Structure 1
């Protein structure tokens, strides 16, 4: 089960004669691989550097190699003072805890498991503390680590500081995890708590309050009727995006800026009932706050995993969050008050009818009524999640259209056949007759999921069994959707961008099929998935119908990734748009 078999441990300590100062050396022979096939050279350790012998105690660390097995030898160099037996024992205990499968955070689980004769075994795990989550491609690093563990692709265990973590990288274990009531909550990061998101739908603990938020948003924002009713507004914002591109005078188009502005307009119109001129003081402030909040929620904060660092706030996350939340409170509270006054002074003295989500929240009564601080948290979360998902996904789709001109041409031929060439307005009804365009979006979601680790993790509220392994209460759980989408056992030719694969088998992206669940599944599935897909489909149809897309200045497309709150292009897409008619 384990990656390391601690089958041989050597402790060598030589006390000095009498009271004289004498060199002492301490060496630990820390592990022996169970078999050569188990890849003993884990990324946590250096590879062997040649043949060495037991007398090589002057080196800090080396590898002893024989014809059948390797041993990693950690050496403490000779000292001029006596190394006490107590210190030797402490060093030995620390080494054993550090090298425990799953790392130090899982060592305590092993102790309790030994006490229970019928306990279920924990998942296979890597030793030490995993720092992969701090990197820009954590999804790739975790996929590689999971594959390196025997049985780890299904479920693997890691330590991130003092945080216990499990990662599921197969559809079956992902379904177990996401559908289980044991994982109904989310771990609340320091930034999320400081930004009040623990009172919003994404991070609120499962319970009456969370269910009320879910019910309200589903009924008034994300129901099929609401999505259909918002179609004219989405189409109008898309047309505005086309005019902005056309007005560029043939200059290269910075797609991220264009898409983000359109997405923010859509969210603001849906949630607050009005858009903001990006050049106005309010528009500039809103853009700055969204950008800062997006960064703070996406940055890896070691303080979430090491209590001392949390107290010290060494990365300044808490300080920046408190500064931002003060600005957010003033900005959103002003909008809430404007809506409140408008309702009081409606036409003919009657209360104004609800026209946007702020009006809906202000109209709640009884147990569902929210305080102003809770309304601010809910509304602010809507801005973040609604803006980034659509803009980032569309940027990836457009990157693929620029890179794969044959696929772009095929999608445009479908558009011409359904809508015709010319300035005909596009609608959701047209999108329903564009199956190839929908497959292009689906294939982009597979290859470039906005949340490769499903953005926000789950938290085990009590002990659970996943894939035959124990996941103790308090464990953070993730699904590596990127690893599932790149698994050749799940997807033939996983690295190829081929929308035609969905002609052969129509796979839903709405959470029912864990081979492709970019919006999650189970109790915490994204409630806005239908609205997001409707927006992406319509705007993509408008962009491809009006323009031919090519690399700017004859250059290529860099598909390098960077994972923050979502998986975005490391280098923003810049391309050339040529009118098709």
Structure 2
């Protein structure tokens, strides 16, 4: 109760400042939106799964929708046409990032490429990701790692039979192991017994801190509340755990002799780049954090949603399985040289991206200058947060026939791809802020799903039907399946 008096007084003063500012400025026409309440704006309409809440609101207020979350103005873009206009004509104006409280603390003062404000540092950090870490040659050099870790996952699943296997856990461990080995090399880096929390637990807490409601993100000056409610303590513990992993493996790499020859792991590359640039240790760690979150979560979430849809659609599963087994016949496993021939599997994965985009709201942007959009019809102020609702775009009935149906055949004679040029399908975003790790994730997803289909026949546990499979989503930056996918794997002779 003692805390509530200064809290209410502070919010009231902020409200009065907002009213005075509104009377003195003369903004242009804003897009339509729902009626807002005093002080909280539209926060009460945000919901536990914001992409679903905003999708429902957009059906009433339009595919360009303006609202307020506390004192933060927000633009929500929910159609491919409006996204196309912004990405092609106004990408620079929409290239900022909001300085969210938890991300600022965890991401080394917003030094992650995904959270950094637009400017010289962001351009340099993105250049390092695109031209040093995620080149075709670099990603290709991790081919052996992908094959070995997928093989270990297959062996683990074989050993679990005939009992149900937690495929969600097995796939996450496989994805995380690939990222750890690619980043840390032989050291493997972090998460073993006796090291405290595992990398999985640390990254899970990082994501929770990033997406949980934080008063400071919507009401300026309210960061002090996080000292009272335990958020600052959690952030400090999470940062400490990340530091523990990164400091150890970076130290091990610095103790080794020799420079990166083009075949080293990601830390080798970053240490070489650091010698040639002004990259600080904290910025190096922030880029590593980007690699871990994007590389692990995007791949594992997509694999699990794909397998979930296949178990619910046996005809599609059978067709994909038949092609995989024909292409890799006589081999112990599908290898990466087989992947270009698996045309139907690629359609299946596209359809999975469509119905289950890994980041359904993408990562929010922020306007760095005022901008007129939609042919000059609407004027968007600077410092407006922008959500591109990829989940809404990918089920838009104006674009997709039977949008809620899982039908990979829709891509059979279509050139629609997920690399940021077709705005009805944006699982990795587009423009300057598009995800640079796409080339790292796709081979992992394709190789894992191909081998899961090649090596096993899959069925649901006794008493569970396809209609019973829980399709609820978990809250996170990347949208995982809320309940683990548990299936029975029956080995086959190929």
TM-score w.r.t. length of structure 2: 0.89
Alpha-carbon distance in 1 for matches of 2:120, 2:175: 31
SS in structure 1 at match of 2:246? helix
Change (3 A) 1:352 1:342: farther
Alpha-carbon distance in 1 for matches of 2:221, 2:393: 35
Change (3 A) 1:132 1:360: farther
Aligned with 2:373 (options 455, 466, 471): 466
Q: 1:298 touches 1:566 (CA, 8 Å); kept in 2?
A: no
1:11-410 superposed matches below 5 A? 112-113=25-26, 120-128=28-36, 129-131=41-43, 135-149=47-61, 152-153=62-63, 155-179=64-88, 180-197=91-108, 198-274=110-186, 275=188, 280-282=193-195, 284-307=197-220, 309-313=222-226, 315-343=229-257, 346=258, 353=261, 355-364=264-273, 368-410=277-319
Alpha-carbon distance in 1 for matches of 2:19, 2:370: 14
Q: 1:134 touches 1:300 (CA, 8 Å); kept in 2?
A: no
Structure holding more strand per residue: 1
SS in structure 1 at match of 2:480? strand
Question: 1:206 deviation in Å?
Answer: 1.9
Change (3 A) 1:134 1:335: farther
Q: 1:333 touches 1:372 (CA, 8 Å); kept in 2?
A: no
Q: 1:259 touches 1:395 (CA, 8 Å); kept in 2?
A: yes
Question: 1:303 deviation in Å?
Answer: 2.3
Structure holding more helix per residue: 2
Q: Which protein has greater RCO, CA pairs closer than 8 Å, 6+ apart? A: 2
Partner of 1:116 in structure 2?
Answer: none
Q: Does residue 570 of the first structure (1) align with residue 477 of the second (2)?
A: no
Change (3 A) 1:423 1:373: same
Question: 1:563 deviation in Å?
Answer: 3.0
Question: 1:250 deviation in Å?
Answer: 1.6
TM-score w.r.t. length of structure 1: 0.76
Change (3 A) 1:315 1:414: farther
Gap regions ≥5 residues in structure 1: 1-93, 99-103, 114-118
Question: 1:315 deviation in Å?
Answer: 4.4
SS in structure 2 at match of 1:246? helix
Residues 191-249 of structure 1: CA deviation (Å, up to 9, x unaligned): 11111351121111222221221111212321122222222211111111000111113
Question: 1:310 deviation in Å?
Answer: 2.4
Alpha-carbon distance in 2 for matches of 1:568, 1:285: 18
Q: 1:265 touches 1:276 (CA, 8 Å); kept in 2?
A: no
Q: 1:165 touches 1:476 (CA, 8 Å); kept in 2?
A: yes
Q: 1:402 touches 1:550 (CA, 8 Å); kept in 2?
A: yes
1:419-434 superposed matches below 5 A? 419-420=328-329, 422-434=330-342
Change (3 A) 1:574 1:509: same
1:432-511 superposed matches below 5 A? 432-454=340-362, 456-467=363-374, 468-511=377-420
Partner of 2:9 in structure 1?
Answer: none
Aligned with 1:514 (options 423, 427, 430): 423
SS in structure 2 at match of 1:569? coil
Q: 2:189 touches 2:249 (CA, 8 Å); kept in 1?
A: no
Q: 2:197 touches 2:241 (CA, 8 Å); kept in 1?
A: no
Q: 2:190 touches 2:198 (CA, 8 Å); kept in 1?
A: no
Alpha-carbon distance in 1 for matches of 2:255, 2:192: 27
Who wins on radius of gyration, i.e. which is larger? 1
Q: 2:73 touches 2:385 (CA, 8 Å); kept in 1?
A: yes
Question: 1:188 deviation in Å?
Answer: 2.1
Alpha-carbon distance in 2 for matches of 1:283, 1:518: 33
Cα RMSD between the aligned structures?
2.3
Q: 2:28 touches 2:379 (CA, 8 Å); kept in 1?
A: yes
Change (3 A) 1:220 1:552: farther
